[in-house]
Amino acid sequence: MESSFFSHVRAAANSFLSEYEPLTLLLAPLLALLIARILQCFVDVVNEKGLKATILGFLITSVKLVPGVKRYIDAEKQKVVDKLQSGSKSKRDGWSTELPRTGLGEGVIEKMKEEKRNDVVWQGKCSGTVYIGGSESEGHFSLINEACSMFAHTNPLHMDVFQSVVRFEVEVVAMTAALLGSKEKASGGQICGNMTSGGTESILLAVKSSRDYMKAKRGITRPEMIIPESAHSAYDKAAQYFNIKLLRVPVNKEFQADVKGIRRCINKNTILIVGSAPGFPHGIIDPIEELGELASSFGICFHVDLCLGGFVLPFARKLGYPIPPFDFSVEGVTSISVDVHKYGLAPKGTSVVLYRNHDIRKHQFVAVTEWSGGLYVSPTIAGSRPGALIAGAWAAMISLGQEGYLNNTRETMEVSKKLQKGIKDIPELFVIGRPDMTIVAFGSNVVDIFEVNDILSSKGWHLNALQRPNSIHICVTLQHVTILEDFLKDLKESVQTVKQNPGPINGGLAPIYGAAGKMPDRGMIRELLVNFMDGTC
Distance CA 517, CA 468 (A): 8
pLDDT at res. 176: 98
Query: Which residues, 6+ apart, have CB-to-CB distance to 383 below 8 Å?
Result: 157
Q: Percentage of the chain surpassing pLDDT 70?
A: 85
pLDDT for position 450: 93
Q: Is the pLDDT of residue 355 over 80?
A: yes
In 3D space, the residue among 86, 31, 125 whose CA is nearest the CA of residue 458 turns out to be: 125
Distance between CA atoms of residues 344 and 350, nearest Å: 9
**Across 119-123, 426-430, 514-518, least confident range:** 514-518
Which string of DSSP letters, residue by residue, matches 337-400? EEESSSTT-PPSS-EEEEESSHHHHGGG-EEESS-TT--EEESSS-SS--HHHHHHHHHHHHHH
Q: In the prediction, which pLDDT does 10 show?
A: 77
pLDDT at 47: 65
What is the spatial distance between Cα 442 and Cα 460, in angstroms, rounded to a whole number? 19
Burial class (CB in 10 A: 0-12, 13-18, 19+), 85: middle
Mean pLDDT within 173-181: 97
Instruction: Find the radius of gyration of the CA atoms of the chain.
Output: 28
pLDDT of residue 51: 64
- Confidence class of residue 493 from pLDDT cuts 50, 70 and 90? very high
Q: What is the pLDDT at residue 426?
A: 97
**261-269 average pLDDT score:** 97
320/36: higher pLDDT:
320
How far are the Cα atoms of 239, 270, 273, 321, 355 from residue 46, in angstroms, in the given order? 18, 18, 21, 44, 34
Whole-number pLDDT of residue 180: 97
pLDDT at 25: 65
Q: What is the DSSP letter of 337?
A: E
Give me the phi and psi of 430, to 5 degrees please: -145, 145
Q: How far apart are the first and last CA of the chain?
A: 78
Q: Are 437 and 324 in contact (CB under 8 A)?
A: no
- Exposed, middle or buried by CB within 10 Å (0-12, 13-18, 19+), for 335? buried
Looking at the chain, the whole-number percentage of residues with pLDDT higher than 90 is 70
CB 57 within 8 A of CB 523: yes
Q: How far is C-alpha 119 from the geometric centre of its chain's CA atoms?
A: 26
Compute the distance between CA of residue 330 and CA of residue 302 in angstroms, rounded to an integer. Answer: 11
What integer pLDDT is reported at residue 387 of this predicted model? 96
Instruction: Kindly state the DSSP code that residue 323 receives in the 8-state scheme.
Output: P
pLDDT at 505: 73
Please say if the pLDDT value at position 87 is more than 70: no
Q: Which residues contact 226 (CB under 8 A, 6 or more apart)?
A: 247, 249, 262, 265, 266, 270, 272, 273, 274
Distance CA 404, CA 390 (A): 20
Q: Residue 2 pLDDT > 60, yes or no?
A: no
Band of residue 468 on the pLDDT scale cut at 50, 70, 90: confident
Q: Is 160 exposed, middle or buried (0-12, 13-18, 19+ CB in 10 A)?
A: exposed
Segment 60-68 mean pLDDT: 66
Q: Does residue 455 have a pLDDT over 70? A: yes
Q: Where are the alpha helices (DSSP H) in 153-300?
A: 163-179, 199-218, 234-241, 259-265, 288-298
Residues forming a β-bridge with 494: none
| pLDDT on residue 301 | 98
66-80, 169-183, 184-198, 401-415: which range is least confident on average? 66-80
Query: In this predicted structure, what is the pLDDT of residue 192?
Result: 97
Mean residue pLDDT across the chain:
89
498-523 pLDDT tens trace: 999 888 776 666 656 665 655 556 66
Q: Are strands 270-276 and 301-305 parallel, antiparallel or unpaired?
A: parallel
Question: 427: Cβ–Cβ under 8 A, 6 or more apart, which residues?
Answer: 446
Residue 126 DSSP class: B
Dihedral angle, C-alpha 255, 260, 262, 264, nearest 10 °: -150
Asked whether the beta carbons of 509 and 454 are under 8 A apart, the reply is yes
At 196-232, the pLDDT tens digits run 999 999 999 999 999 999 999 999 999 999 999 999 9
Q: Which of 84-98, 341-355, 416-430 has the lowest mean pLDDT?
A: 84-98
